[in-house]
Amino acid sequence: MKGLCGWRGRARVRRFVAVGGVLAAAGVVGLAPQAAQAGPGGRDGLAGEQRGAAVVRTDAGWVRGQVTGEGRQFLGIPYARQPVGGLRWTEPRAVEPWRGVREATAFGNRCVQGPSWDPGYEKPTYTEDCLDLNVYVPEGRAGDGATRVEERAGAGADLRRPVMVWLHGGGLTAGAGEDIVPDRFARTTGTVVVTVNYRLGAMGFLAGPGLDGEASDRVSGNYGLLDQRAALRWVRANVGRFGGDPRRVTLAGESAGGRSVCTHLASPGSRGLFRSAVVESGAYDDCAGRERRRAAEDGAAFARKAGCPDPATALACLRAKPAKDILAAQAGFDWGPVVGGGFLPVQPEEAFARGSSAGVPVLNGANSDEGTLFAFAQFDGQGKPLTAAQYPAALERTFGAELGERALRRYPPDRYATPTHAFAAALGDRMFVCSALRLGDSLARRGPVYGYEFADRTSPPFASLRGLGTDFAFGATHVNEVQYLFKHFGLETPLNAEQRALARQMARYWGSFIHSGVPRSDGSPTAPDQRTRPGDVLALRTASAGGNAVVDTARSAHHCALWDAVPPR
């Protein structure tokens, strides 16, 4: 299997893992008078933050954001020079300074990607001018839960807030920082939140044709990850001017964003840029990158497909191609990190086993029904629900003859609502849940790792699925936990009273982890540390389903003894 991109080209279900969409934050009001008066007279921007001003100086120039009902937001701030022309497929360069005050009231361009049915993503994006980020700053005191965390951590006298940098999902081929609007999360947790755009697909992960000679780490193909690192460096240099603490940065992400976090944990050059990490459904394929030889072969095949077959001239030829042609040619290839060289010397799992990864606290987990999204895309979403007669062959095609037969014994279709759901359980357990548990075991050799499982099986499907008009039971599927933490696509999720209570508890867990490195929520158990309770996870559930509880049955419930013997590589 090719990670999460295996079904992305299907006509009706293009991009389930590509969490995209553009919608300005609701409730935005005009620039407050005091913000309009605050300007380039402040010494470092922090004094303005204390007055509630929406004008802040970055190291490249002044930016003017917006005041909203939740705090302040600064959108579309460039953190690197835009990778166009001769800068296509080069490491990100320092952003060019600007004069005057730059408006930061609208999201920047999304990076090059195809269309999808996610809200606002109906048309393709061909713009390479996209290396922007967004900063959300809460006003006043933090919410009660976060305030208590600050007091326990002894940080009450520090006016600067901890920071979360969020990396979006989308299979490393789609999505944007704007896919979540975390303004409410920022306010209720007392956290400065930064969301990031980074190069995608071939633009972000092309290796091979003439590029190795230009890569400072001697191996090309990691440009999207280098963008993420450049954003982290921007945060270290600038977030203090927005009231954030550059010493207390949590790197977080979901799906491909979580996999990116996993990669940065193993990358020597990213060490020291964050003090804790959150991996949501990101351990698939054991966070593995492409081996250098395979990546170079893929790059050569891509160049031929794009009409640049001569290795001696391929790079110049590809740089001359319009983004539309690059996007058209990238279909069918597996885009992702490349192993070898300075950026990622060895596979992440090897780095974790050696103890050479970053030894920071990690919050790591998955959802209980990860696979329903992908199984629906393959079968019911195509108008061809999987039947009991077809089920054994589907397992064999996906997992191979021997493993498929063993999976059939563990996941008999008569134990599930439909054969599609039986297939989904096997797929989700192998790709996500058991991978997350293995990652917890590996990272526990270096530091604290807290395991969770989002298990609200009554949760409403995220926005892209709600528009389908299907009654398919997705349960706690891939991506669904995101809308409990943030405004997904800027939208309000239709949660009932119990689910809203769970969402508040989850925000407290995540906020506590960002503040103190330990995920706690008043009235609920602390997430278990894998160093002392390996394999135990915090099950996040509504009150009627038993409430939040630490469980020791995750490995057996998801048949990890089967999948751990043949990791998904």
Q: In the numeric block, which tokens belong to residue 413?
A: 């279709």
Partners of 180 in the β-ladder: 488
Residue of 168, 478, 515, 558 with catalytic role: 478
Residue 45, domain extent: 33-245+266-272
- What pLDDT sits at residue 218? 65
Residue of 91, 370, 453, 481 with catalytic role: 370
Residue that wins the pLDDT comparison between 132 and 23: 132
- What pLDDT sits at residue 117? 78
For residue 464, tell me if it sits in a domain: no
For residue 164, tell me if it sits in a domain: yes
The whole-chain average pLDDT of the chain stands at 88
User: Is 308:314 a contact under the CB 8 Å cutoff?
Assistant: yes
Q: Report the range of poorest mean pLDDT among 176-180, 356-360, 387-391.
A: 356-360
Partners of 279 in the β-ladder: 253, 364
User: Is 472:374 a contact under the CB 8 Å cutoff?
Assistant: no
- What pLDDT sits at residue 146? 38
- What pLDDT sits at residue 18? 37
For residue 535, tell me if it sits in a domain: no
| 202-220: average pLDDT | 81
- Number of domains present in the structure of the chain: 1
Confidence of residue 42 (pLDDT cuts 50, 70, 90): very low
For residue 200, tell me if it sits in a domain: yes
- What pLDDT sits at residue 213? 66
Helix (H/G/I), strand (E/B), else coil: 35:
helix
pLDDT digits (tens, 9 = 90+) for 408-442: 999 999 999 999 999 999 999 999 999 999 999 99
- What pLDDT sits at residue 159? 78
For residue 144, tell me if it sits in a domain: yes
Instruction: Reply yes or no on whether the pLDDT at 495 is more than 50.
Output: yes
For residue 251, tell me if it sits in a domain: no
Q: Report the range of poorest mean pLDDT among 34-48, 126-140, 506-520.
A: 34-48
End-to-end CA separation in angstroms for the chain = 8
Percentage helix, strand, coil for the chain under 3-state DSSP, each rounded to 5: 35, 15, 45
**Catalytic residue list contains 558:** no
- What pLDDT sits at residue 569? 61
Instruction: Reply yes or no on whether the pLDDT at 135 is more than 50.
Output: yes
| The pTM of the whole model exceeds 0.85 | yes
The CATH number given to whatever domain includes residue 206 is 3.40.50.1820
Nearest to 495 by CA among 510, 513, 482, 508: 482
Confidence of residue 50 (pLDDT cuts 50, 70, 90): very low
User: Is 333:5 a contact under the CB 8 Å cutoff?
Assistant: no
- What pLDDT sits at residue 53? 66
**Catalytic residue list contains 254:** no
Q: Report the range of poorest mean pLDDT among 49-63, 137-151, 156-170, 307-321.
A: 137-151
Residue of 220, 255, 270, 516 with catalytic role: 255
**Catalytic residue list contains 478:** yes
Instruction: Reply yes or no on whether the pLDDT at 20 is more than 60.
Output: no
| 338-342: average pLDDT | 92
- What pLDDT sits at residue 468? 87
91 to each of 79, 88, 465, 564, how far by Cα in Å? 13, 9, 36, 36
Q: Residue 461 carries which DSSP code?
A: P
Helices (H), ranges, 411-553: 419-428, 434-443, 463-466, 482-485, 497-516
Confidence of residue 215 (pLDDT cuts 50, 70, 90): low
Nearest to 412 by CA among 391, 393, 434: 391
The rounded distance, in Å, linking the Cα atoms of 452 and 533 is 12
- What pLDDT sits at residue 129? 96
For residue 425, tell me if it sits in a domain: no
For residue 46, tell me if it sits in a domain: yes
Confidence of residue 275 (pLDDT cuts 50, 70, 90): very high
pLDDT digits (tens, 9 = 90+) for 292-320: 999 999 999 999 999 999 999 999 999 99
